[in-house]
Chains A and B, each alone.
Chain A
């Protein structure tokens, strides 16, 4: 059984984003998800932050204050080894979920 829910999906998106881009601040993550999903996925921007902090507490992410490309102080997040592992698990779980949902649709 694959474990997946909406929160899990947001985590997966964040982890995937950071694995593709390296270090990024919260706003950058929002923009990346939007462009990478061809504007299909839009998240409530504020709700990203509790998720980021939770993932950092779990040791999946590490953070550091740095200057952004527009010379603004921003907090940058980056995957840890544990985060990379979590990404693999989440991806697998998500594939399972998608497969399961597809199967349901075919059956109906």
Chain B
């Protein structure tokens, strides 16, 4: 009770004083009253009471001293005092606050990304035990989907998982939803009934799948995401039990998921996995199923991996033709969702901490210089009785104020950079969109920022304290320079450390910029300018893959578009260029030496229209391309790319070769090669050209490419009109120029390189400020020495060199130490580098050179000031 009152009272010193006065007066009055009662005359009674009490004013001060010794009142006074001191030297304050704001702001921004991507818990139950289980093949990088029968066998034979679930999102990824007279393409997921219980996702409305939904001929039911519920059905609660039309088939909606719990994150409609087409369900050829598992408690990842590997080996023995060489890869769910973001975020985090350290070193330097300037003031206050603790809390409140102001400003900086970060990371291959969207300034991030502020403040608050003189007489002696030598040394050491750290950041920054430069110089194999891509999915069953109705639709569309003056040519294919085709197939070269089953090679297959090669700008190297009549006749003909010809047809005439497809069936198709086209980097610019097979044909899902002679984005409306004229309800989507596709595919690399470049510049600037500060300070300290030297004959050049030599020594030590650190750190970013060695000599050269130049510039300014010192004035100055 009294504690609260006391805290409340502490707001003002006056209130405390009044209360103490009341208490002491009450005492004196009581004594006076007792004295009077004992018969003393009034004046005597009062005098005796005061005498017994002692000096009331002194006593009041002593009590007040006890009350306020550790109080907020004092701290508040200190902060106000600190504020006044900071306002009195705006140059120092602004430099320090801005430096800290940059350091803390950058740290906050990057940490919020690191927190969202690497630390924040996933919205699933026991997420740390959930792993993705994919299959591996020596010919295919990373892990891939498994076949439906393999998934069933994994499911029944494994012993490491509490639960296992399968889902499929392969082509087409979307189905057309007809509702309320509108048609929309929605993202569909085929999922086993165990998916939602494995993730621990409970529906917010209705139910999810039950075990019966896993059996063949399951009911046509669908679960929808909260976002889809909102977007397509206006959050109508009566939607449960109603039927919607998906690709011409009626589905009953049975449940709605809670917000932000969709898995996979792009999913909108989930249907039973058992509704997958019969062909895929029956064969070990079509790789369509993604598998998730939740480990039993206590089972290690390695144990489960070995368990699954045993199962895979057993399957390989039983089904060698399809399963030989197929392995299993277990990846923790978080790692799967983070994709390739982890190394990028970690390197950024590392570099930003280095930048923060440089910023701190700079501010520490400023504070040290100030402490030196205030040395005598501090000594005088000590001589007048200020305790070291008192001086410390005062110096602490000053740095606390600096750091908090810097922190607030930095957080504002950070809030502006987050949208940019989200945008860049959203395009990272394999990174989960929900994870990227959760990059925000939230409580944990702000708490960490606060801790960083407080930590730096305490560190800095201590620094000047170490410099307070223990021997007062020394500090008070006029013209004394005794303690500045030591002081100068610690400031020099700080600057050398700054330079060393700056070299590390510079080196990493230039490595990534070099790598990015190499990346954008890569020729994707086709012209990305004036090229528009958009997608269309024709609703089944009205249209079917390779059916006449489908061909007619596309032919009519292409005819219409070609008449537009802005459009030069139109082609269709099944995957956006720079992205893998979801269609891969085993093949054999007719007449080649026989291979053991299971050792057949794979190639990407793309279905294309006749004009695709011309539209993309792929050169026809040999033979001919496709013609419309090839499609109309359902002709089986191959055009291959050069990479295919080189790898599989060396020493043969490609045009005389045939390729066998469907090699696992009893009657493979023997398909002749009619042409060879140039390579395109169709798996992304970072990946080398892969062998590819092109077949003629139109699918229900198609990517339409348009080569234009005007701004490609401007023809999108024309395309939409043309499609509507052919089929009024038919939407188009994913409209993007190929320039956008290319830059999006490099967005993460660009972001990482640009950010590291900015950090490098920041480090360089801060280091140069540090060097300037130290050299300038040393010049003022050595004014008299310089005066003496000039008086005994040193010329300006000698003085200039004298000062510069000091700067060179500082920089030299820093650079050597920094290079050692840089090589160690470069090892950690090697995963981010493209065709760039982690000891790239050019990057080393650029970093060292840039730092030397900047260091010399920063030193020359004060040095030239030293050289123009007038010796007479310098000697008189003391």
Binding site for B on A (CB under 8 A): 25-27, 30, 44-47, 49-50, 53-54, 56-57, 62-64, 68, 70, 72-75
Interfacial chain A residues near B30, Cβ < 8 Å = 25, 27, 68, 70, 72, 74
| Contact A50–B31 (Cβ < 8 Å) | no
| Contact A26–B23 (Cβ < 8 Å) | yes
> How far is A10 from B67 in the complex, measured between Cα atoms in Å?
18
> How far is A75 from B873 in the complex, measured between Cα atoms in Å?
67
Residue from B26, B59, B65 in contact with A74 in the complex, judged by beta carbons closer than 8 Å = B26
| Contact A46–B53 (Cβ < 8 Å) | yes
Interfacial chain B residues near A74, Cβ < 8 Å = 23, 26-27, 30
> How far is A25 from B53 in the complex, measured between Cα atoms in Å?
15
B66 within 8 A of A: yes
| Contact B24–A64 (Cβ < 8 Å) | no
CB distance from A73 to the nearest CB of B (A): 6
Interfacial chain B residues near A73, Cβ < 8 Å = 22, 26
Residue from A47, A56, A75 in contact with B59 in the complex, judged by beta carbons closer than 8 Å = A47
Interfacial chain A residues near B54, Cβ < 8 Å = 44-47
16 CB contacts below 8 A, A to B, read: A26-B27, A45-B53, A46-B53, A46-B56, A49-B20, A50-B59, A50-B62, A53-B63, A54-B66, A57-B69, A62-B2, A68-B26, A68-B30, A70-B30, A72-B33, A75-B22
Interface size on B, residues (CB 8 A): 27
Residue from A30, A49, A63 in contact with B63 in the complex, judged by beta carbons closer than 8 Å = A49
Task: Give the residue name and chain of the A residue nearest to B61 (CB).
Answer: A50
Residue from B2, B27, B58, B66 in contact with A45 in the complex, judged by beta carbons closer than 8 Å = B27
| Contact A72–B26 (Cβ < 8 Å) | yes
**B37-81 vs A, Cβ < 8 Å mask (1 yes, 0 no):** 000000000000000111110110011011101100000000000
CB distance from A5 to the nearest CB of B (A): 17
CB distance from B30 to the nearest CB of A (A): 4
> How far is A54 from B63 in the complex, measured between Cα atoms in Å?
8
- Find the residue from B23, B52, B65 having the highest chain A CB count within 10 A: B23
Interfacial chain A residues near B67, Cβ < 8 Å = 53, 57
Interfacial chain B residues near A46, Cβ < 8 Å = 24, 53-56, 58-59
CB distance from B3 to the nearest CB of A (A): 8
Q: Which parts of B1-33 form the interface with A (CB within 8 Å)?
A: 1-3, 20, 22-24, 26-27, 29-31, 33
| Contact B33–A70 (Cβ < 8 Å) | yes
Contacts A46-B24, A49-B63 known; list 15 others, CB within 8 Å.
Answer: A44-B52, A45-B54, A46-B58, A49-B24, A49-B27, A49-B62, A50-B59, A53-B67, A56-B2, A57-B69, A68-B26, A74-B26, A74-B27, A75-B22, A75-B26
Task: Give the residue name and chain of the B residue nearest to A56 (CB).
Answer: B2
Q: A-B pairs with the 9 shortest C-beta distances?
A: A46-B54, A46-B59, A53-B66, A27-B30, A46-B53, A50-B62, A74-B26, A27-B27, A75-B23
Task: Give the residue name and chain of the A residue nearest to B69 (CB).
Answer: A57
Interfacial chain A residues near B59, Cβ < 8 Å = 46-47, 49-50
- Find the residue from A44, A57, A70 having the highest chain B CB count within 10 A: A57
> How far is A13 from B56 in the complex, measured between Cα atoms in Å?
22
CB distance from B28 to the nearest CB of A (A): 9
Interfacial chain A residues near B63, Cβ < 8 Å = 49-50, 53
Interfacial chain B residues near A49, Cβ < 8 Å = 20, 23-24, 27, 59, 62-63
> How far is A5 from B651 in the complex, measured between Cα atoms in Å?
105
Known A-B contacts A50-B62, A62-B1, A74-B30; A45 and B23 likewise in contact (beta carbons under 8 Å): no
> How far is A74 from B22 in the complex, measured between Cα atoms in Å?
8
Interfacial chain A residues near B56, Cβ < 8 Å = 46
CB distance from A60 to the nearest CB of B (A): 12
